[in-house]
């Protein structure tokens, strides 16, 4: 159903597919503006469900549950990208989903994502589509070692990936083909991983948040540092590419653009997430408008807010193994902005919350995080 330039005004109901932490923070930003929230999630006590006005307990692919969400909502958005195609098709036909289905379909599959990025005129790592083990042998000689084999669909936080360092590892890596088609990427020797969150509304108004420098540990985002420690030229290039992608895809809503930055200040687009993103959480306190408020503004077709950075910031993720220590030390953590997501069980390597430190310099924030000894990961940092 197309309502194109219609505004969804405070007092109306925003439906969210997915009850995780992104939905929760989206809902809190929307409720601050006066909206009501309906959420669809299979879990009774989901993070978003805890703050929603209407909870629909059901599977994401359940058409009866999707219909209930549509009946309760004036506009529908989502907090994760792996939405069932049949459910999404029904929704776009019978409800107002300003983000549409095209970008989701593109980003659900690495082969279509990479081809679409190339069509948008931006660089991706050289790659080949892999259907069987023979395709790996044929293409890896050209791409070279190491190369990364990734499942075309699914996979996050490093799951569904295998770094092939020599020919002897090809057979082991090929087990990923049991999950379906894969892509084989040339290993990019990057200096830093950075990301840009770009938002666009139905009027074509677009904005970007400051570039974030991302530090990963064990393939999970550990810290986002803002402003990113990179040259002005590279920063401007990253922002330009994010706008270029948003325009090419006719984005409505929020898109996180993850990038590799090389020593020569060349930028390759790594992957896209068509929603608010973990690397944009710093914006809740550090920017004039958060990524969650901006997303709500975009899907409701309101004017976008200023994304000006108010102060240097570092966001650090709280995983299951860190949560109890954070709570024990909470009295000592002065001027830490601590967000816990209300998840029932603290599971190791699972994102339970995050903390943001606004300081005079990012170096001050990083030093304070290390001195807290909650993570004890200073020696494992890469990229800075």
Give the domain ranges of the chain: 13-97, 126-186, 192-380
Report strand pairing: 182-186 vs 161-164.
Answer: unpaired
Phi, psi of 340 (to 5 degrees): -110, 140
Instruction: Give residue 382's pLDDT.
Output: 44
Longest Cα separation, the chain: 61
- Residue-level pLDDT at 86: 87
For 98-148, write each residue's pLDDT tens digit: 999 999 999 999 999 999 999 999 999 999 999 999 999 999 999 999 999
> Given a cut of 90, is residue 373 above it in pLDDT?
yes
> What does DSSP assign to residue 312?
-
Task: Please tell me the distance from the alpha carbon of residue 340 to that of residue 261, in angstroms, as a whole number.
Answer: 31
**pLDDT above 90: percentage of residues in the chain:** 91
pLDDT of residue 374: 96
Contacts of 71 (CB under 8 A, 6+ apart): none
Q: Provide the CATH number for the domain formed by 126-186 in this structure.
A: 3.30.1490.20
- What pLDDT was estimated at residue 377? 56
State whether residue 173 is helix, strand or coil.
helix
Convert the pLDDT of each residue in 27-65 to its tens digit: 999 999 999 999 999 999 999 999 999 999 999 999 999
pLDDT at 295: 98
Q: Tokens at residue 78, please?
A: 């989502």
Q: Cα(first)–Cα(last) distance of the chain, in Å? A: 47
d(CA 176, CA 156): 14
Share of the chain above pLDDT 70, in %: 96
Note the pLDDT of residue 157. 62
Q: Which residue has the tokens 């601050």?
A: 32
CA separation, residue 341 to residues 28, 241, 338 (Å): 12, 32, 10
pLDDT at 271: 94
Q: Note the pLDDT tens digit of each residue in 282-338.
A: 999 999 999 999 999 999 999 999 999 999 999 999 999 999 999 999 999 999 999
If pLDDT is split at 50, 70 and 90, which confidence band does 82 have?
confident
The mean of the pLDDT values for the chain is: 94
* Confidence (pLDDT) at 1: 56
pLDDT at 376: 75
Q: What integer pLDDT is reported at residue 154 of this predicted model?
A: 81
Query: Options 3.40.640.10, 3.40.30.10, 3.40.50.20, 1.25.40.10; which CATH number does 13-97 get?
Result: 3.40.50.20
Domain 192-380: CATH superfamily, name plus number: ATP-grasp fold, B domain (3.30.470.20)
DSSP state of 338: E
| pLDDT greater than 80 at residue 378 | no
pLDDT, residue 372, reads 95
Provide the b/e sequence for 256-286 (b: ≥16 CB within 10 Å).
bbbbbbeeeeebbbbbbbbbbbbbbbbbbbb
Q: How far apart are CA 302 and CA 245, in angstroms?
A: 21
**Per-residue pLDDT tens for 213-260?**
999 998 899 999 999 999 999 999 999 999 999 999 999 999 999 999
- What would the mean pLDDT of 75-89 be, rounded to a whole number? 90
Return phi, psi of residue 90, to 5°.
Answer: -60, -45
């Amino acid at each position: 159903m197309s309502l194109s330039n219609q505004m969804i005004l405070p007092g109306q109901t925003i439906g969210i597919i997915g009850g995780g932490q992104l939905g929760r923070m989206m809902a809190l930003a929307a409720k601050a503006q006066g909206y009501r929230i309906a959420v669809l999630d299979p879990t009774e006590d989901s993070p978003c469900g805890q703050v929603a006005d209407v909870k629909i307990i059901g599977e994401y692919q359940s058409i009866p549950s999707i219909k209930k969400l549509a009946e309760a909502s004036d506009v529908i958005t989502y907090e994760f990208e792996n939405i069932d195609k049949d459910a999404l098709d029904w929704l776009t036909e019978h409800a107002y989903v300003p983000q549409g289905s095209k970008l989701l379909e593109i980003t659900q599959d690495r082969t279509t994502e990479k081809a679409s990025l190339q069509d948008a005129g931006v660089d991706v790592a050289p790659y080949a589509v892999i259907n069987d083990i023979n395709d790996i042998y044929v293409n890896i000689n050209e791409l070279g070692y190491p190369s990364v084999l990734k499942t075309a669909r699914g996979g996050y936080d490093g799951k569904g990936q295998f770094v092939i360092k020599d020919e002897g590892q090809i057979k082991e890596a090929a087990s990923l083909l049991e999950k379906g088609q894969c892509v084989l990427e040339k290993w990019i020797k990057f200096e830093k991983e950075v990301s840009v969150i770009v938002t666009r509304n139905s009027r074509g108004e677009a904005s970007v948040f400051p570039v974030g420098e991302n530090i990963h540990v064990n393939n999970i985002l550990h810290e986002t540092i803002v402003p990113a420690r990179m040259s002005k030229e590279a920063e401007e290039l990253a922002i330009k590419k994010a706008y270029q992608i948003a325009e090419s895809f006719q984005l409505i809503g929020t898109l996180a653009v993850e990038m590799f930055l090389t020593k020569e200040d060349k930028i390759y687009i790594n992957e896209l997430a068509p929603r608010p993103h973990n690397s944009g959480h710093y914006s809740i306190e550090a920017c004039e408008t958060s990524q969650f408020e901006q997303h709500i503004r975009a899907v409701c077709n309101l004017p976008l807010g200023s994304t000006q950075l108010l102060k240097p910031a570092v966001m650090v993720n709280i995983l299951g193994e860190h949560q109890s220590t954070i709570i024990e030390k909470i009295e000592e953590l002065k001027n830490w902005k601590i967000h816990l997501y209300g998840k029932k069980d603290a599971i190791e390597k699972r994102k339970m919350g995050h903390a943001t430190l606004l300081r005079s310099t990012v170096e001050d924030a990083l030093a304070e995080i290390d001195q807290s000894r909650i993570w004890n990961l200073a020696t494992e940092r890469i990229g800075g």
